[in-house]
Structure formats: C-alpha cells, structure tokens
Amino acid sequence: MNGPSLVILAAGRARRYGGGLKQLAPIGVHGEGVIDLIASDAFGAGFDDIVVVVNPDTGDDIKKHVEKFWPKESKVSFAVQETPRGTVDAVLAAEPFLDTTKPFAISNADDLYGRDAFAKLGAHLSTKSTCCLIGFQLDRALVGDLPVTRGLCHVVNGHLTDITERRQVHASRDGFVSDDGLSPVLLESESIVSMNLWGFQPAMWPLLRNEMETHDFEAEPEAVLPVMVGRILHRVPLRFDVLPTVSRCVGVTHADDLPLVQADVRSQVSLGERPEHAFI
C-alpha cells in the first residue's frame, strides 16, 4: 500500500449538538452519516487505511455502524481516547494502529470537507515531503447562524506562518464577525481558515509526543492541534503548505445545522460534485 493514512477524530462528546451522535448524523441522500461520507471521500482520494479515534462511551456505537455500512474490504482500525485531553492526544491514540513511516492526514468526524479537499490532500501526501493544511474560505466554512470556532490562517507565499483560533464566529448584517474580544472583529469573507484537515509527515510524531509532555493541563485542559501547530511554526523547521480548495466545508456543530447540511449534500449530488451513494 502506497497511499497515506487518515485519522478521523470521532471522540468528541458533542456537547453543543444535543442528542444523538453527530458523527453519525444522517446527512447523505440515503441517510449516510457524516463519517460515512468522509471515509468515502478519503478512499476515493487514494487513502489506504483509516483509524477512527473514539471515546469509551460512544465508541461501540460508531464501531458497529462502521462495520455494518462500510465496505468489508476497507482497512479500518479503532483507537480509544480514554480521557478528553484534546486533539493532540487523540492523534497519539491512533499511533499504534498506523505505519509511522508513512504520511498521514487528520480530519474531524463531524465536518464534511468535500471531494476536492480530499483529492488535494491525498495528492500532496502521496507526492510531497512537506506537511500541509487544506485552507477553506471563511464564507465557505460556515453553516447556519450560530457561532463557531475557526482557525484564522496567516499565509505567505503559500506557506502557513501563523494560525489564530477565533471564537464566536458568525455571519451578521455587517459581514462575518468574531465576538471573542480579539481584533479584528470583522473578518474578510475570503479569509483562509483551518477546519482541522491536516496532512502530516512522520516527523510530526515526536513533536506531538513532546506537546503532551510539556502541555500545562492545569492552565488549559486540552492540547489542540491548531494551537500546537501555531507554536511549532516559530521554532521548528517544518513547512506547512496551505492548499486552497473550492470545496465547501459543512459541519454539524449544532442540532439546527442538520437540515442545512442535508440540503447542501443534496445540492452537491445534483451538481455532480459527489455520487448519490457514499460507497460505490
């Protein structure tokens, strides 16, 4: 197998979503869950294998769903993140199930990134030796009116130079705003944001482990990937290429997002941007 691996972060507790598992929220034309369409897009882009990181409470439900609906020939493993210590810890939970000499990608389990995004990610990891981030336009990375968190990217000559977590981001009559107390309050619609769709090289493994060893969990209970990457950009000679995509990123953060995402998926199918069935 020559393609990269994908780690899907499905251990979140979905506190803002409400009832049910948002990773399995039925967004497809035939009721496919978010995680089903993510996996379909990844396998279609040349990814060899997937590790799904789950938590002890809901992991069995996700595993049963995958075993029932994903193609039997799919190479899939399940890793358990025992405690909610952030996305850095979740990635490290997947390490024993991966070939750590291969490049690998990271995705959320509740965001549908689009086929173009995964195609660019898979092609980069299969042919390049640098890390990467899929960059989405802000106006193509929001669903509904409720506030969300977005990683605002600073890009120079196609390379990521910094990333700032902006909270309480939402659309308003004046445009896109962030009510987190930082400047600027008004964000450009063409701003490039991270949706946690990363491409990593094997050199990231010791950096991930070091982050967990040095992170101050009393000050901040979770170690998260965007913050870690933003920090190492200034002290480690590791380049992150930002790969812009025409895809929309639609996510199920809140329960009210579900019908909006379902409508968006149906639009993608009608425009020929994705097949009607998740696995064909």
Q: pLDDT truncated to tens, each residue of the chain (280 aa)?
A: 589 999 999 998 755 555 568 899 999 999 999 999 999 999 999 999 999 999 999 999 999 999 999 999 999 999 999 999 999 999 999 999 999 999 999 999 999 999 999 999 999 999 999 999 999 999 999 887 888 889 999 999 999 999 998 999 999 888 999 999 999 999 999 999 999 999 999 999 999 999 999 999 999 999 999 999 999 998 888 899 999 999 999 988 878 889 999 999 999 999 999 999 998 7
Architecture of the domain spanning 5-270: Alpha-Beta Complex (3.90)
Domain ranges of the chain: 5-270
Cβ atoms of 198 and 225 within 8 Å: the answer is yes
If 0-12 CB within 10 Å is exposed, 13-18 middle and 19+ buried, where does residue 60 land?
A: exposed
Q: Give the pLDDT confidence score for residue 18 in this predicted structure.
A: 55
Q: Give the pLDDT confidence score for residue 144 in this predicted structure.
A: 79
Q: Give the pLDDT confidence score for residue 273 in this predicted structure.
A: 92
Are β-strands 186-187 and 175-178 bridged in parallel, bridged antiparallel, or unpaired? antiparallel
Ramachandran bin of 80, using left for φ above 0, alpha for ψ from -120 to 50, beta for the remaining angles = beta
What is d(CA 51, CA 80) in angstroms, rounded to the nearest whole number?
Answer: 10
What is d(CA 58, CA 84) in angstroms, rounded to the nearest whole number?
Answer: 13
The DSSP symbol for 216 reads -
Q: Give the pLDDT confidence score for residue 256 in this predicted structure.
A: 86
Three-class secondary structure of residue 9 per DSSP: strand
Q: Give the pLDDT confidence score for residue 12 in this predicted structure.
A: 84
